[in-house]
C-alpha cells in the first residue's frame, strides 16, 4: 500500500507545468540525441548534466531520465531509414529495419520500432517500480564466472546472424574479438598489438566501428554499384502496421521486454547485448525465420522492445544499491552527486519523492514518445525520398561528424573509414558485419571476467559455479545446434540422393 501511495503522489506531482515541460523537453532531446549517430544515450545525458545544476533536484532527474528513455527509441530512426544506428543498441534494428525501407515500407519499420520501444519501456518501468530492491540484490551476487557465462551467451547469438552460414558468422565475431584485444590489457596493464603507436593505446572505440561497419560500408557498396541513375523505390508509405500485424507481434514484444529488463539489471550488460539476444531468440522461435534479415517486423520489434525495457532494468541496481547498470547510469550517478544525493537504499528512506518521481517519469516518458513518434513519422520518412546523389554523401558526412563529435578525434574519423572498408569487404564475400560489432561490444566483458574468474577460483570455477555452468551450457547449445542440425540434414540428403 505504501508503494501505491507514494507512486500516486509522484504522478500527481508530475501534473504541474514545470514537470510536464521537463518531460517533454527530455523526450525531444532524447529522440534527437538518439537519432544522431555518435550521440549515445550516455552522451546525450552527459551533455545536459551541467545544465541541470540550476534546476531543482527532482526536475533535473526527471529531465535526464526522460532523455535516457527517449534516446533508445531515437536510435531506431536512423537505423531504419539510412542503416546508421543512432545508438549501439539499435545495431540489431538495422538488420530488418533498413530492408523494410528499401522495400518502400519505412512507415511499417518506424511504426513497429515505435510501438515495441514504448511497450518495452513501459514493461521495464513496471518491473522497476515493483521489483527494484529484490531484483537488484539478486544481480549483486553474480560472480565473475557468471558474468563471463552471460557474455558468452550473448556471443552465441551470432548463430542467427550468418544468414545460413554459421561458420562465416563465427569468423566475423572472431574478427571483432581480435580487434578488441588491441590496446591496454584490462588486468596486467600491458599494451598489446600497438606496434609502438600511441594512437592504439586505447584500442578502437565502439562508435567509429559502428558507424563504419553499418553506415560507411553502405556508401562504399553504393559507390561500387553506382550506375549514374538514382535508385527507384516503390511508393514509400508512412502508414503504421495494421492492428492484425501488431497483434501477431505481441508474443515477441512481451518476450523481448522480459529479456531486456532482466539483462538490463546485470551491471555492465546493457541494452546492446539485450537487443542482440532478443533478436536471436525471436528468430529461433519464429515460424518464418527465412524473413529475418530481409525485413521481418518481428526482428525490429524484438530489438526495440529489448533495448527500451533495459532502461528500467538498468535503473534497478542504480537506485536500490548505487551500482550503475549501464554507461548512462554511471553518468546519472554524477547527476545525483551534483545535487547532493546518494543513490542507494537510504535514498528510498530520505528522498522518496525523488525516487518515485523517477519511477513515474520513466513510465510517462514512453507515452510522450509514442505521441511524438506517431506524428513525427511523416517527417522522418521524407529523408528516403532524397536523391542518391544527396542521400549517400549525407550519410557519409553524418557518420564522420558523429564519430568526430564523441572525442574530437581525427583518428576516430580515420578508424571509421577503415571499418567502412572492412564492412564493405565482409559484405562482398558474404560475411555479416553485425557479429564484428558484437565481438567488439562483448570483448572486454568476456576477457575481464574470464581472467578474474580464473584468478579467484581456477579454471574449475566455470563448472563449480552453478549459474555460470548453466548459462555456458545454454550458450554452447545455442551456438552449435545450427551446425549439428545442418550436418544432420546433409547426412539425410545423401542416402536420398
Cross-strand pairs, 183: 192
Cell 529488463 belongs to residue = 261
CA distance 198 to 460: 38
- Asked if residue 64 lies in contact with residue 75, where contact means CB atoms within 8 angstroms, the answer is no
CB atoms within 10 A of CB 121: 31
User: Can you read off the three cell numbers belonging to residue 372?
Assistant: 511524438
Q: Which residues contact 319 (CB under 8 A, 6 or more apart)?
A: 128, 132, 136, 343, 344, 347, 348, 355, 358
CA neighbor of 226 nearest in space, from 426, 389, 373, 18: 389
Say what the pLDDT of residue 421 is: 93
- pTM of the complete model beyond 0.75: no
Cell 531506431 belongs to residue = 76
CA neighbor of 284 nearest in space, from 255, 306, 317: 255
DSSP state letters, 285-307: H-S-GGGTTS--HHHHHHHHHHH
CA neighbor of 92 nearest in space, from 219, 325, 256, 278: 278
Burial of 112 (0-12, 13-18, 19+ CB in 10 A): buried
Round to the nearest angstrom and report the end-to-end CA distance of the chain: 69
Say what the pLDDT of residue 418 is: 92
Backbone angles phi, psi at 288, to 5 degrees: -125, 60
At 249-298, the pLDDT tens digits run: 888 888 888 888 888 877 656 777 788 888 888 888 877 777 777 777 88
Domain spans of the chain, in order of start: 2-496
Q: What SS3 state is found at 192? A: strand
User: Can you read off the three cell numbers belonging to residue 388?
Assistant: 542518391
Say what the pLDDT of residue 234 is: 47
Say what the pLDDT of residue 383 is: 55
- Mean pLDDT per block of 10 residues along the chain (497 residues) reads 57 70 86 70 72 79 87 82 75 82 79 86 84 63 78 68 68 88 82 83 80 81 68 54 77 87 73 81 79 79 86 80 68 75 73 79 86 76 62 78 78 90 88 79 82 85 84 78 64 59
CA distance 308 to 321: 21
Amino acid at each position: 500500500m505504501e508503494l501505491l501511495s507514494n507512486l500516486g503522489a509522484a504522478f500527481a506531482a508530475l501534473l504541474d507545468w514545470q514537470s510536464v515541460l521537463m518531460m517533454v523537453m527530455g523526450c525531444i532531446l532524447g529522440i534527437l540525441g538518439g537519432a544522431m549517430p555518435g550521440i549515445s544515450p550516455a552522451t546525450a545525458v552527459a551533455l545536459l548534466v551541467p545544465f541541470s545544476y540550476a534546476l531543482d533536484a527532482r526536475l533535473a532527474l526527471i529531465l535526464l531520465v526522460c532523455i535516457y528513455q527517449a534516446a533508445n527509441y531515437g536510435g531506431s530512426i536512423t537505423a531504419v531509414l539510412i542503416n546508421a544506428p543512432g545508438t549501439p543498441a539499435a545495431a540489431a534494428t538495422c538488420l530488418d529495419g533498413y530492408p523494410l525501407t528499401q522495400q518502400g515500407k519505412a512507415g511499417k519499420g518506424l511504426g513497429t520500432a515505435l510501438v515495441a520501444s514504448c511497450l518495452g519501456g513501459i514493461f521495464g518501468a513496471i518491473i522497476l517500480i515493483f521489483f527494484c530492491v529484490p531484483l537488484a540484490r539478486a544481480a549483486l551476487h553474480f560472480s565473475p564466472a557468471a558474468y563471463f557465462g552471460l557474455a558468452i551467451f550473448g556471443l552465441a547469438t551470432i548463430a542467427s546472424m550468418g544468414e545460413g552460414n554459421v561458420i562465416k558468422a563465427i569468423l566475423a565475431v572472431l574478427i571483432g574479438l581480435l580487434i578488441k584485444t588491441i590496446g591496454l590489457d584490462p588486468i596486467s596493464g600491458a599494451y598489446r598489438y600497438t606496434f609502438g603507436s600511441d594512437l592504439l593505446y586505447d584500442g578502437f572505440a565502439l562508435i567509429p566501428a559502428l558507424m563504419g561497419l553499418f553506415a560507411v560500408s553502405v556508401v562504399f557498396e553504393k559507390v561500387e554499384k553506382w550506375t549514374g541513375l538514382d535508385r527507384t523505390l516503390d511508393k514509400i508509405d508512412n502508414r503504421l502496421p495494421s492492428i492484425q500485424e501488431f497483434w501477431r507481434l505481441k508474443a515477441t514484444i512481451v518476450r523481448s521486454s522480459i529479456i531486456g529488463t532482466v539483462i538490463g539489471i546485470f551491471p555492465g550488460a546493457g541494452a546492446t547485448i539485450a537487443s542482440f539476444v532478443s533478436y536471436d531468440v525471436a528468430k529461433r522461435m519464429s515460424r518464418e525465420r527465412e524473413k529475418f534479415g530481409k525485413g521481418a517486423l518481428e526482428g525490429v520489434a524484438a530489438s526495440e522492445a529489448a533495448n527500451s525495457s533495459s532502461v528500467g532494468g538498468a535503473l534497478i541496481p542504480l537506485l536500490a544499491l548505487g551500482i550503475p547498470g549501464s554507461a548512462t547510469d554511471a553518468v546519472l550517478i554524477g547527476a545525483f552527486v551534483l545535487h547532493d544525493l546518494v543513490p542507494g537504499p537510504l535514498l528510498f528512506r530520505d528522498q522518496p519523492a525523488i525516487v518515485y518521481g523517477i519511477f513515474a517519469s520513466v513510465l510517462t516518458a514512453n507515452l510522450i514518445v509514442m505521441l511524438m513518434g506517431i506524428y513525427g513519422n511523416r517527417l522522418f520518412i521524407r529523408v528516403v525520398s532524397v536523391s542518391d546523389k544527396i542521400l549517400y554523401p549525407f550519410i557519409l558526412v553524418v557518420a564522420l561528424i558523429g564519430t568526430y563529435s564523441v572525442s574530437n578525434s581525427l583518428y576516430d574519423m580515420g578508424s571509421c573509414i577503415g571499418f567502412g572498408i572492412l564492412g564493405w569487404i565482409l559484405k562482398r564475400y558474404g560475411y555479416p558485419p553485425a557479429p564484428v560489432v558484437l565481438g567488439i561490444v562483448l570483448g572486454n566483458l568476456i576477457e575481464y571476467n574470464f581472467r578474474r574468474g580464473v584468478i579467484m577460483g581456477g579454471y574449475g570455477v566455470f563448472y563449480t559455479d552453478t549459474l555460470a555452468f548453466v548459462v555456458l551450457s545454454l550458450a554452447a547449445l545455442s551456438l552449435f545446434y545450427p551446425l549439428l542440425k545442418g550436418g544432420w540434414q546433409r547426412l539425410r540428403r545423401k542416402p536420398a540422393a
